[in-house]
Amino acid sequence: CGHVEWAGSIIVGPKSPQPGDWPWMAAIFMQESGNEKKVICGGALISPKHILTAAVCVTGRRRTTQPAGLPSVRLGVVDLHSTGDDTRAINVDVKAIHRHPNFNVRTYNNDVALLELSKEVPFSEFVRPVCLPLGEISMKNLTARRASVVGWGHPTNVGKNSDRLLEDYVDIWAETECLEVYRRFPLDNETQMCAGDYRTGADPCRVTAGASLLSFFGDRFYVLGLASAGYRCGTPGYPGIYTRISSHLDWIQGILNSR
């Protein structure tokens, strides 16, 4: 898991991902009126049959239920409408949604879900899973660590979602800094974390919920968080709020081991 060909290259700033750069990234689609499908969120492949994403992505309009239909997933692409990506693309339906039972739609606490795919996907250079932060990785001090945020979203922070995968770099904030900034928000440092640009104090905010917060340890990438919430997207002094994956490993592994 977590292997990419370019791993170890110097990270200098946002760039346009190429096929195979982030082979675990998934675009999550929901059927709209007619036959049109809309990208609603990003997700990350963590097993041959499971996509890790945010619970808010699979919450219905009443905010307490799951959506009326099941989403579908596309893997192996960086451009959702490029014919050149077609030979690498894998389109697969979602068989079941596993949303964290303690997800709080008001505070975004426990904002995590697993999508169970209808079939196993074959791994390749362009489709492979990311690593979960198990063992000693889950115990590491992440403060000030540089991380990548990858997903679909808004290239200029406004307007319609991009058809291309987007990538930005952020710094993981100390828990005390996060609590100070969001002192009026019911933040839970045990299950949530903050990340943003230390120079501006802002969340890149180009990506939608479910985007992966990724960091490199040893020779592979691990998913440390999921884009969840924030305040006044892109406002200096306000980092993004991410679901802390290490705090949800027992729940995640329980789902993986039950199938």
CATH number at residue 193: 2.40.10.10
Residues 119 and 151 in one domain: no
Average pLDDT (151-161) is 62
HSE-CB of 182 using CA atoms within 13 angstroms: 27
Structural domain tally of the chain? 2
Confidence of residue 10 (pLDDT cuts 50, 70, 90): very low
Asked if residue 53 has pLDDT above 90, the reply is yes
For residues 72 and 60, give the distance between their C-alpha atoms in angstroms, rounded to a whole number.
16
Residues 106 and 140 in one domain: no
HSE-CB of 101 using CA atoms within 13 angstroms: 4
Q: Identify the burial level of 179 via C-beta atoms within 10 angstroms of its C-beta, where 0-12 means exposed, 13-18 middle and 19 or more buried.
A: middle
Tell me which residue range forms the domain holding 227. 135-247
Largest Cα separation within the chain, whole Å, is 49
For residues 153 and 164, give the distance between their C-alpha atoms in angstroms, rounded to a whole number.
8
Confidence of residue 162 (pLDDT cuts 50, 70, 90): low
Domain annotation covers residue 16 = no
The chain-wide mean pLDDT, for the chain, equals 85
158, 86 Cβ separation under 8 angstroms: no
Residues 29 and 76 in one domain: yes
Residues 153 and 96 in one domain: no
For residues 36 and 10, give the distance between their C-alpha atoms in angstroms, rounded to a whole number.
40
Q: Which of 3-12, 31-40, 116-125 has the lowest mean pLDDT?
A: 3-12
pLDDT of residue 206: 64
Residues 233 and 147 in one domain: yes
Residues 120 and 154 in one domain: no
